[in-house]
A and B are shown apart, each in its own frame.
Chain A
Amino acid sequence: MNNTRQGISKGIDTTILWLYFALVTIGWIAIFSVEYRTGDNAIQKILSFNTNYAKQLFFIGLSLIVGVFVLLTDSKFFTATANLAYAFGIVTLLLVFPFHSHIKGTNSIIKVGAFNFQPAEICKLFVALALAKYLSRLETNFNKTNSHLVAFAITLTPSILAIFQNETGLALVYFSFFIVMYREGLPAWYLVLGFSLIVLVVATLLVDKNILAIILTTIAVFVIYLLYSRFKRYRRYTFLVVGIWLLAVSIQRFAVPYVFDHIMQPYQVKRIYAAIGKDYVPKDAQQLKELQEKEKGKKKDESDYNVKQSKIAIGSGGFLGKGFLKGLQTQGDFVPEQHTDFIFTAWAESFGFWGSFLLLGIYLFLLLRIVNIAERQRSAFSRVYAYSVASIIFFHVMVNICMTVGLAPVIGIPLPMLSYGGSSLLTFTVLIFILLRLDADRQMVLR
Chain B
Amino acid sequence: MSVFNQSRKNVIRLIFLAAFAVILLQLINLQLVSSKYKKLAQENAILRKVVYPSRGIIFDRKGKAILDNTTMYDLMVTPSQVKGIDTASLCRILDIDTAEFRERVISAIIKNTRNRPSVFSALLSPDKYAKINENLYKFQPGFFLQERPVRIYPFNTAANILGYLSEVDSNFLKKHANEGYQMGDYAGMTGMERSYEKVLMGERGIQYILKDNLNRPKGPYENGAYDTAAIAGKHLYTSIDVELQKLGEKLMENKIGSIIAMDPKTGGILALVSAPTYNPNLLTGSERRKHFNELYRDPALPLLNRAVNATYSPGSTFKTLQALIGLHEGVITTGFRVACSGAFYGCGGGKPMKCLDKGVFDLRGAITISDNTYFATVMQRVMNNPKYPNQDSALAVWDKYMYAFGLGHRLGIDIPTEKRGHIPTPQYFDKIYGQGRWNYCNFRSVSIGQGEVDVTPIQVVNEMAFIANKGWYHIPHLVDSIEGGDKFGLLDPYKKVITPTDIPDSIFEAVHDGMQGVVERGTGIGAKIDGITICGKTGTVENYYKGVKQPNHSFFCGFAPRDNPKIAIMCVVENSGHFGGTFAAPICGLMIEKYLKDSISGDARKANLDRLSKLNLIPPRIYKELRTRDSLDHLKDTAYLKKTGYWKTTTDTLETDDEPDLKAEKTKSRKSDKDSSNTPAKIKPDAILPDNKKKATKDSINI
Main secondary structure of the interface of A (DSSP, over half): helix
- Segment with Cβ contacts to A, from B27-35, B336-344, B440-448: B27-35
Q: Can you name 21 A-B residue pairings with CB atoms under 8 Å? A: A141-B1, A142-B2, A179-B12, A185-B1, A312-B41, A315-B40, A316-B38, A319-B32, A328-B41, A329-B45, A331-B210, A357-B27, A360-B27, A368-B13, A371-B12, A374-B9, A380-B2, A394-B16, A398-B19, A398-B23, A407-B22
Q: Is the CB of B27 within 8 A of A332?
A: no
Please tell me which one of the listed residues A184, A313, A368, A405 contacts residue B27 in the complex, with CB atoms under 8 A apart: A405
Distance (whole angstroms) from the CB of A236 to the closest CB of chain B: 28
A333 at the interface (CB under 8 A from B): yes
Q: Is the CB of B44 within 8 A of A311?
A: no
A333 to B215, CA, bound (A): 10
Q: Is the CB of B45 within 8 A of A352?
A: no
Please tell me which one of the listed residues B13, B31, B210 contacts residue A315 in the complex, with CB atoms under 8 A apart: B31
Tell me which residues across on chain B come within 8 A of A313, comparing CB atoms: 41
Q: Is the CB of A183 within 8 A of B41?
A: no
Tell me which residues across on chain B come within 8 A of A363, comparing CB atoms: 20
Q: Is the CB of B17 within 8 A of A364?
A: yes
Tell me which residues across on chain B come within 8 A of A364, comparing CB atoms: 16-17, 20
A24 at the interface (CB under 8 A from B): no
Q: Is the CB of A401 within 8 A of B23?
A: yes
B488 at the interface (CB under 8 A from A): no
B15 at the interface (CB under 8 A from A): yes
Please tell me which one of the listed residues A184, A374, A406 contacts residue B5 in the complex, with CB atoms under 8 A apart: A184
Q: Is the CB of B12 within 8 A of A332?
A: no
Taken residue by residue from 365 to 381, chain A's Cβ proximity to chain B (1 for < 8 Å, 0 otherwise) reads as 00110010011000010
Tell me which residues across on chain B come within 8 A of A407, comparing CB atoms: 22-23, 26
Q: Is the CB of B24 within 8 A of A360?
A: yes
A400-414 residues with Cβ-Cβ distance < 8 A to B are 401-402, 405-407
Q: Is the CB of B218 within 8 A of A182?
A: no
Q: Known contacts A360-B23, A401-B23; decide if A185 and B12 are in contact (CB<8 Å).
A: no
**Beyond known contacts A328-B46, A334-B44: 19 more, CB 8 A cutoff:** A142-B2, A184-B5, A311-B30, A314-B27, A315-B34, A315-B40, A319-B32, A328-B41, A328-B210, A333-B212, A334-B45, A334-B213, A352-B31, A353-B28, A368-B13, A374-B9, A390-B16, A402-B22, A407-B26
Q: Is the CB of A375 within 8 A of B41?
A: no
Q: Which residue of B lies closest to A367 (CB)?
A: B16
Q: Which residue of B lies closest to A387 (CB)?
A: B12
Q: Is the CB of B1 within 8 A of A328?
A: no
A33 at the interface (CB under 8 A from B): no
Please tell me which one of the listed residues A142, A312, A331, A405 contacts residue B26 in the complex, with CB atoms under 8 A apart: A405
B563-617 residues with Cβ-Cβ distance < 8 A to A are none
A317 to B30, CA, bound (A): 9
Q: Is the CB of B8 within 8 A of A315?
A: no
Give chain B's interface residues, CB within 8 Å of chain A: 1-2, 4-6, 8-9, 11-13, 15-17, 19-20, 22-24, 26-28, 30-32, 34, 36-38, 40-42, 44-46, 210-213, 218
Q: Is the CB of B2 within 8 A of A184?
A: yes
Q: Known contacts A314-B37, A329-B44; decide if A353 and B15 are in contact (CB<8 Å).
A: no
Distance (whole angstroms) from the CB of B439 to the closest CB of chain A: 81
Tell me which residues across on chain A come within 8 A of B16, comparing CB atoms: 364, 367-368, 371, 390, 394
Q: Known contacts A364-B17, A401-B23; decide if A317 and B1 are in contact (CB<8 Å).
A: no
A140-183 residues with Cβ-Cβ distance < 8 A to B are 141-143, 179, 182-183
Q: Is the CB of B44 within 8 A of A332?
A: yes
Tell me which residues across on chain A come within 8 A of B12, comparing CB atoms: 179, 182-183, 371, 387, 390
A142 to B2, CA, bound (A): 9
Taken residue by residue from 303 to 331, chain A's Cβ proximity to chain B (1 for < 8 Å, 0 otherwise) reads as 00000010111111111000000001101
A356 to B25, CA, bound (A): 12
Tell me which residues across on chain A come within 8 A of B17, comparing CB atoms: 364
Interface range on chain A: under 10, 10 to 19, 20 to 34, or 35 or more?
35 or more
A22 to B227, CA, bound (A): 40
A394 to B16, CA, bound (A): 7
Q: Which residue of A lies closest to B38 (CB)?
A: A316
Q: Known contacts A314-B31, A364-B17, A407-B26; decide if A329 and B41 are in contact (CB<8 Å).
A: yes
Q: Which residue of B lies closest to A185 (CB)?
A: B5
Q: Is the CB of B8 within 8 A of A182?
A: yes
Most buried by B among A182, A311, A331, A374: A311
A360 to B31, CA, bound (A): 15
Distance (whole angstroms) from the CB of A393 to the closest CB of chain B: 10
A82 to B316, CA, bound (A): 119
Main secondary structure of the interface of B (DSSP, over half): helix
Distance (whole angstroms) from the CB of B578 to the closest CB of chain A: 72
Tell me which residues across on chain A come within 8 A of B36, comparing CB atoms: 315
Distance (whole angstroms) from the CB of B612 to the closest CB of chain A: 66
Q: Is the CB of B30 within 8 A of A371?
A: no
A143 to B26, CA, bound (A): 39
Q: Is the CB of A179 within 8 A of B15?
A: yes
Tell me which residues across on chain B come within 8 A of A315, comparing CB atoms: 30-31, 34, 36-38, 40-41
Tell me which residues across on chain B come within 8 A of A402, comparing CB atoms: 22-23, 26
Q: Known contacts A332-B211, A360-B24, A398-B19; decide if A183 and B9 are in contact (CB<8 Å).
A: yes
Q: Is the CB of B13 within 8 A of A371?
A: yes
A313 to B28, CA, bound (A): 14
A272 to B654, CA, bound (A): 62
A383 at the interface (CB under 8 A from B): yes
Q: Known contacts A184-B5, A406-B26; decide if A360 and B40 are in contact (CB<8 Å).
A: no
Distance (whole angstroms) from the CB of A231 to the closest CB of chain B: 26
Most buried by A among B16, B36, B218: B16
Distance (whole angstroms) from the CB of A189 to the closest CB of chain B: 14
Tell me which residues across on chain B come within 8 A of A371, comparing CB atoms: 9, 12-13, 16
A333 to B213, CA, bound (A): 6
A348 at the interface (CB under 8 A from B): yes
Tell me which residues across on chain B come within 8 A of A329, comparing CB atoms: 41, 44-45
Q: Is the CB of A394 within 8 A of B9?
A: no
Q: Is the CB of A332 within 8 A of B20?
A: no
Q: Is the CB of B15 within 8 A of A405?
A: no
A401 to B23, CA, bound (A): 7
Q: Is the CB of B9 within 8 A of A312?
A: no
Q: Is the CB of A332 within 8 A of B210?
A: yes
Distance (whole angstroms) from the CB of A281 to the closest CB of chain B: 23
A34 to B698, CA, bound (A): 47
Q: Which residue of B lies closest to A320 (CB)?
A: B31
A357 to B45, CA, bound (A): 25
Q: Known contacts A183-B8, A184-B2, A315-B41; decide if A332 and B218 are in contact (CB<8 Å).
A: yes
The 6 lowest CB-CB distance pairs between A and B, nearest first, are A315-B37, A316-B41, A328-B45, A332-B212, A353-B31, A315-B30
Tell me which residues across on chain B come within 8 A of A309, comparing CB atoms: 44, 213
A309 to B6, CA, bound (A): 43
Taken residue by residue from 383 to 402, chain A's Cβ proximity to chain B (1 for < 8 Å, 0 otherwise) reads as 10001001000100010011
A334 to B213, CA, bound (A): 5
Distance (whole angstroms) from the CB of A343 to the closest CB of chain B: 15
Tell me which residues across on chain B come within 8 A of A328, comparing CB atoms: 41, 44-46, 210
Q: Is the CB of B20 within 8 A of A360?
A: yes
Tell me which residues across on chain B come within 8 A of A394, comparing CB atoms: 16, 19
A356 to B26, CA, bound (A): 11
Tell me which residues across on chain B come within 8 A of A348, comparing CB atoms: 27, 31
Taken residue by residue from 340 to 364, chain A's Cβ proximity to chain B (1 for < 8 Å, 0 otherwise) reads as 0000000010001100110010011
Tell me which residues across on chain A come within 8 A of B28, comparing CB atoms: 353
A182 to B9, CA, bound (A): 9
A317 to B28, CA, bound (A): 11
A331 to B5, CA, bound (A): 50
Please tell me which one of the listed residues A184, A319, A368, A375 contacts residue B31 in the complex, with CB atoms under 8 A apart: A319
A112 to B654, CA, bound (A): 77
A179 to B18, CA, bound (A): 14
Distance (whole angstroms) from the CB of B345 to the closest CB of chain A: 90
Q: Is the CB of B38 within 8 A of A318?
A: yes
A367 to B44, CA, bound (A): 36
Taken residue by residue from 102 to 142, chain A's Cβ proximity to chain B (1 for < 8 Å, 0 otherwise) reads as 00000000000000000000000000000000000000011
Q: Which residue of A lies closest to B114 (CB)?
A: A299
